[in-house]
Amino acid sequence: MKTAEIAQRYLDYFEKKGHTIVPSASLVTDDPALLFTVAGMVPFIPYLSGDVPPPYPRAADVQKCIRTNDIEEVGKTPRHGTFFQMLGNWSFGDYFKDGAIAFAWDFLTGAESEGGLGFDPKDLWVTVYEEDDEARELWLKHSTLPDERIQRLGKDTNYWSTGLPGPAGPCSEIFFDRGPAYGIDGGPATDDDRYVEIWNLVFMQYEIADVRSKYDFTIVGELPNKNIDTGMGLERVAFIKQGVDNMYETDQVRPVLDKAVELSRKTYGADHEDDVRFRVIADHVRSSLMLLSDGVTPSNDGRGYILRRLMRRAIRSMRLLGVDGPSFAELFAASRDAMKEAYPIVETDYARLSQYALAEEATFLRTLAAGSELLDESVALTKTTGGAQLSGAQAFLLHDTYGFPIDLTLEIVEEAGLTVDRGAFDTLMQEQRERAKADARSRKGQLADTSVYRDFRAQGETVFTGYTELETGSRVLGILVGGASVDRATQGQIAEVILAETALYAESGGQVADKGVIVGPGYELEVLDVQKPVPGLVSHTVEVTTGEVAVGEAATTVVDAANRRAAQQAHSATHLVHAALRDTLGRSATQAGSLNRAGYLRFDFSWGQALSSETRTEIEEIANNAVRDNLEVTTRIMSLDEAKAAGAMALFGEKYGETVRMVDIGGPWSRELCAGTHVGSSAEVGLINLIGESSVGASNRRVEALVGQDAFRELAAERAIVSQLTSSLKTPRDQLATRVAELAASLKAAEKRIAQFEARALADRLPQLVSAAVSAGPVQVVAEALGAAASADDVRSLALQVRDRLGADTASVVALGAVVGERPVVIVATSEPARAAGAKAGVFAKTAAAALGGGGGGRDDVAQGGGTDAAALPMALEAIRTAAGGL
């Protein structure tokens, strides 16, 4: 039974049982405590917590998930995968334990011919929370399980909570027994791999508080609406139903594994270590493909870092299998073909997805080449000094700074006959993990408790009238001060105000929040920010500038019309720039992020190289031609499927409901799903002036533009500069660029001649400096100030010449100070006899730097120090004389 068929059977079954079928949410979640959707429940948290009224009493879905906390286990166990799919059925105050248990047993053991999965009851075990007698009795009622195959377990396995105050409850897990060939008898209580958990039923029935740990808390009472949250692992069910040993051999994953086998020319099943690598590749390539399809791109932080790590682990595993060259073209294509039935976007958008994958592979292969050179140097140095072990710090540097995997370091070092100080490396790695955990704890600790908005959201969604109105009368539903609900806010206080209706736009879709005021009887509030703390609810952060505002009072939102107009110009201009980019570069240049505020836009898009000045001009011209043509801007409300069928662009990372707003500019030329505010026709944008283009990642570029009056002011300022230059240089405007280039070339030539004169002047001082040598302790010391110098390299060259002129047999310390670019520099050079007497250039350089207010160091034979206090040069040189005399 194919994976996609299992998923469809599940949805069909629960649809017949009255469940609303909900499409999978994105892998990218807007929960600030999470990077990804890590569990099937994440999209439903607002409904389960009661913060947002559920739109349906019961639902079912197949949710995409990414979880990397067990990444080291991937490939080693039959069930650990970084990308997985959770089959879930949900009840929001509707059915409870009885219904959930009955549904689960019926679907699992129902005949395949009738839409079930056809599991043999003799292969199934169940666990319940040790104190949940009700769940145990219901299993005996609805199933044919004997008493001994319903095991009671403790809180650590069979009780669900988030570890925070809020909903919690016992759970019941269903396991499949793979048979005695896979482990010991005794059921799930043995915690043996023989028993594979396939389904978890969470009975969310209690409210907890005083949370001391995930399993230590106080139950304060039952929830008013008891919820059901279930999750069945699709990959786990698939490998059981397909008769294979693990999830990596299922139909959605195995093709990538087979392609890796083909490319490596090795045999799967012949070597345990190689088998783990094959499975890692299969899992990580699929996970990377799915993350890319949801708009994540490789980077050095956040979600992008996780994606980059997955890709690089796959490349590393291919290398350890003997494949040193590119392989992603074949591997990602294999994953595309395996996943396209379930997720058609991986095929329809494959050109864009593969562009990121191939660019990341090429970058990392270059990194590996550079890391190999550094490692070779470190190995050679270790051997030269008679060492047998590469330091853990050097191995960690290669790993952390250059992205060079530790197992490759171990492999190469072992081939050279050396070892790595793995203990020191592991210590450094652990310290890094602790820092990362501390950062995650800090981020989690900063989360706001959204339950404070629950009662307000229960009164309905905030109605946004700002598409057609700039003033809207309403009433105050609630006031928050310091995160707590209060009945009023007084003059001078900062508060959050919740209204039933508002004309003020809440920040979303790249468009910043409106500016404006809220006024009512005897009070005025300056609006500082407008946000949506929970879906469907708008909160206004305000300062009470006059009077006091109380819950229940009338309120009128007044939008700053000039700011809104300029923001609308910028947002519509963003759509025009996007369309112009796609006209110029092709359909693969899709939006990766944007920011629109009054008079300014920033637009990120997928593209792997810098735009030429000619291309930038073309994009700017196309966008401004659209402004000139006064294209009609229209908006329509329709279903998501209708909008996609009409060719509307759905932007990655954005979350859409079943009903969406489609914005057209010039009909299908620019057609996007967008909830932002826009001008009535393109001519109202006024002017678009592209002011910058830069890189924001290996495969992402950014353009910035000024819009409307701000664009005009920028061009007027540039015109004034050009006018001033033409007047000063007495050159016509069309010849100005040539004239400036000539002047720049003349200046560069003059600077070069001056530098030559200065270097010659320094060299002319060589005899005088040699004759200035004086005895200090066991060495001859030259410590002189040179005045100004063109570069530190000139000073270094002169110091080495003085040392050489004094003779190789002379114990000499040469310290020359100079001012380079207004900053003091001291170069110290020592001869071999001086070093034998204890004179180390690096130590002297640090001594001088301390006097100069800076830092320094270097090798024993030559070193450099510097600082900020040029007037202290004589003192710094005297400190070197004193130190040399004390040797």
DSSP alpha helix (H) spans, 540-692: 561-585, 613-628, 640-645
Which two tokens mark 396?
A: 């960690």
Residue set of the binding site? 571, 575, 674, 678
Amino acid at 33: A
Question: Got the DSSP string for 715-741?
Answer: HHHHHHHHHHHHHHHT--GGGHHHHHH
Burial 15-30 (b: 16+ CB within 10 A, else e): eebebeebebbbbbbe
Phi first, then psi: give them for residue 124, nearest 5 degrees: -110, 145
User: Which has the closest alpha carbon to 325: 293, 366, 288?
Assistant: 366
Q: How far is CA 346 from CA 284, 288, 332, 336, in A?
A: 15, 11, 10, 6
User: Which has the closest alpha carbon to 10: 21, 458, 343?
Assistant: 21
Helix axes 392-400, 422-445, angle to 10 degrees: 40
Which two tokens mark 106?
A: 């019926």
Residue 183: DSSP 8-state = S
H or E element in which residue 109 lies: helix 97-109
Which two tokens mark 764?
A: 């002319």
Residue set of the binding site for Zn(2+)? 571, 575, 674, 678
Q: How far is CA 447 from CA 236, 451, 536, in A?
A: 33, 12, 19
Spell out where 191-289 has E strands.
Answer: 195-213, 216-233
User: Which has the closest alpha carbon to 257: 230, 276, 229, 242?
Assistant: 276
Cα–Cα distance measured from residue 490 to residue 106, given in angstroms and rounded to the nearest whole number: 59
Give the distance between the most distant pair of CA atoms in the chain: 106
Q: What is the torsional sign of CA 141, 147, 152, 157? A: negative
Phi first, then psi: give them for residue 342, nearest 5 degrees: -80, -35
Contacts of 350 (CB under 8 A, 6+ apart): 336
- Cβ atoms of 206 and 169 closer than 8 Å: yes
Question: Got the DSSP string for 729-772?
Answer: HT--GGGHHHHHHHHHHHHHHHHHHHHHHHHHHHHHTHHHHHHT
Residue 26: DSSP 8-state = P
Phi first, then psi: give them for residue 451, nearest 5 degrees: -65, -20
Contacts of 854 (CB under 8 A, 6+ apart): 824, 865, 866, 867, 868
Question: Got the DSSP string for 267-326?
Answer: -TTS-HHHHHHHHHHHHHHHHHHHHHHTT----SSHHHHHHHHHHHHHHHHHHHTT--S-
Cα–Cα distance measured from residue 70 to residue 84, given in angstroms and rounded to the nearest whole number: 13
Cα-atom radius of gyration of the chain, to the nearest Å?
A: 35
> 354: helix, coil or strand?
helix
- Cβ atoms of 164 and 158 closer than 8 Å: no
